[in-house]
Amino acid sequence: MSSPAAAARAGPAPRHVLAPLALTQFVASFAGSNMNVAINSIGKDLGTTVHGVQTAITLFLLCMAALMIPGSKLTDKWGRRRCLLLGLLIYGIGAIISALAPGLPTLIVGYSAFEGVGSALMIPPIYILATLYFDSVQSRARAFGTISGAAGIGSATGPLIGGLITTAISWRVSFLFQALIVALVVVLSARISDPLPADPKRPFDLTGAAVSAAGLFFVVIGILQAGNNGLLLGIFIALGLLLLAAFYLHIRRREHAHEEPLLRTSLFKNRTSNLGLVTQNVQWLFMMGITFVVSVYLQTVQHFSAIKTGLVFTAATVGLLISSAFAQRMASRREQRTLIRGGFVASLVGVGLLLALAGLTRHVWSFLPGLFVIGLGVGVMITASVNVVQSAFPEREQGEISGLSRSVSNLGSSMGTAIAGTILVADLVHGGYVAATIVLTAVAALGLVAALLLPPEPRRRRELSSPPEPATSAAHP
């Protein structure tokens, strides 16, 4: 007898599943980067500063990171399709609130809170559904390539599309654009069925969810305080780390008591997955950090308009599109760890070009080669690292590892904006751009070290091999 997941795969064609999943990931990633080119416009319109807009962006990304694991866990309780649609609804409401925001507090409510919560609910089902519908290494590489490519393209085209809309109409229309995409995804999702049945009686670790979210919140908020108050920086980060340690002890205690935790501690015992998660975190930290640094520098120091700033990032978009287009072919010919290593090397070369050429001339073309090479590098490794992590666990554990994976990636995004933005805003004119870029380069180098430590892949399953049978009801995560 076929498994529930196999039965679901026999229904709609994968391409009908992949399109709404990729679009959902696109809009979430777009929301994280399109604000960067509208910093001046938003600041003038809402009466705030660069730091105020940076805070809104960081809190949006942090909200996703803090709630991604609980959101992933709820997919088992409520169902993957239901969580996807609920997340889209909350996200769409947040986009409309943001478009009508009269001031920064309302923008934070709509953008950082509503869109952040919506993203935390709608993103985990993307990767779980893709993993369940595509069961071989190569087919998953294609699916993850499309979805991760959409994530990268959303981040890379966010400045261009956002800049065009901001210059031609208003930054507010960018949020209405997101609401329209959300409506389209809801329509396209009509043909998606849930591969595994929901389990409404499944217990939910509310304490674990609250403690883990609070821990991540204080760590990132502490980083945001770096340029303002060193004492608060230390207090917040120390409190965050203590809360995360308490979270680990909490889930271990629940396991020993035979109660279901928010995350199983066994997820942290897989060396391949752990290293893959490090590379994911660093990739997004680096990408979002560079995007924020270059965007702020161009607008506040070079006095570029929103559309001109967006056009500069077209180079990164082209590079990312090229490498994403060849993701499946590269995955079938090279080990995933080789692609991750190559992506980090290319990204380091790209940031080197940014620093070298920006020091020689202030012309716009000086940013293009570096951003293009960075786009190539990110496009190569972003798919491979997702595949490494997701494929390290069986089908029955995809809910938990997907949430952990997305949380780690979004934590990297929020930390990238917080770290780079704090350094940049503290000394915007006198070397802030160079200092922030150097810090991001050092972090990318650490990501390369993690990639070099990745073990060889196990022998690949044959293309037509069947997926493992999922455990039943309470046994599967």
Distance CA 457, CA 466 (A): 19
> Residue 358: what residue type?
A
CA distances from 331 to 173, 285, 385, 413 (A): 38, 24, 11, 25
Query: Rounded to a whole number, what is the distance in angstroms from the first to the last CA of the chain?
Result: 22
Report residue 231 as tokens: 């004492």
Q: What pLDDT sits at residue 17?
A: 84
Instruction: Report which residue type is found at 332.
Output: S
pLDDT of residue 8: 47
The conformation of residue 408, written as its DSSP 8-state character, comes to: H
Say what the pLDDT of residue 474 is: 26
Burial bucket for residue 463 (CB in 10 Å: 0-12, 13-18, 19+)? exposed
Task: Show me where the domains of the chain are located.
Answer: 9-193+262-457, 209-261
The pLDDT of residue 401 is 81
Alpha-carbon distance of 388 to 456, in angstroms, equals: 11
Q: CA angle at residue 78 from 107 to 398, to 5 degrees?
A: 95
What is the Rg, in whole angstroms, of the alpha carbon atoms belonging to the chain?
A: 21
List the chain pLDDT tens, one digit each, 477 residues: 444 444 444 444 566 788 899 999 899 888 877 887 888 889 899 998 888 888 898 888 888 888 888 888 888 889 989 999 999 999 999 999 999 999 999 999 999 999 999 998 998 888 788 878 877 666 777 787 788 778 767 876 788 888 889 888 999 999 999 999 999 999 998 888 888 888 888 889 999 999 999 998 898 888 877 656 667 778 888 999 999 999 999 999 999 998 989 888 888 888 999 999 999 999 989 988 888 888 888 888 788 888 888 888 888 888 887 887 776 677 777 888 899 999 999 999 999 998 888 766 667 788 899 999 998 998 888 878 888 888 888 767 766 787 788 788 888 888 888 887 777 666 655 567 788 888 899 999 999 999 999 998 765 443 333 333 222 222 222
CA distance 403 to 405: 5
Question: Hey, CA dihedral for 385, 411, 66, 113, is it positive or negative?
Answer: negative
Which residues have C-beta within 8 Å of that of residue 449, sequence separation ≥ 6? none
CATH T-level topology, domain 9-193+262-457? Growth Hormone; Chain: A; (1.20.1250)
Write the CA distances from 366 to 155, 159, 249, 356, 432, integer angstroms: 21, 18, 50, 9, 18
In order of 23, 296, 368, 443, 456, the CA distances from 293 in angstroms are: 26, 5, 15, 15, 35
Cα–chain-centroid distance for residue 354? 24
Among 214, 269, 284, smallest CA distance to 397 is for: 269
Place of tokens 């001109």: 308
How far apart, in whole angstroms, are the C-alpha atoms of residue 376 and residue 317?
A: 9
Nearest to 250 by CA among 262, 235, 239: 262
The two three-digit tokens of residue 299, written as one number: 């607008």
CB neighbours of residue 136 within 10 Å: 17
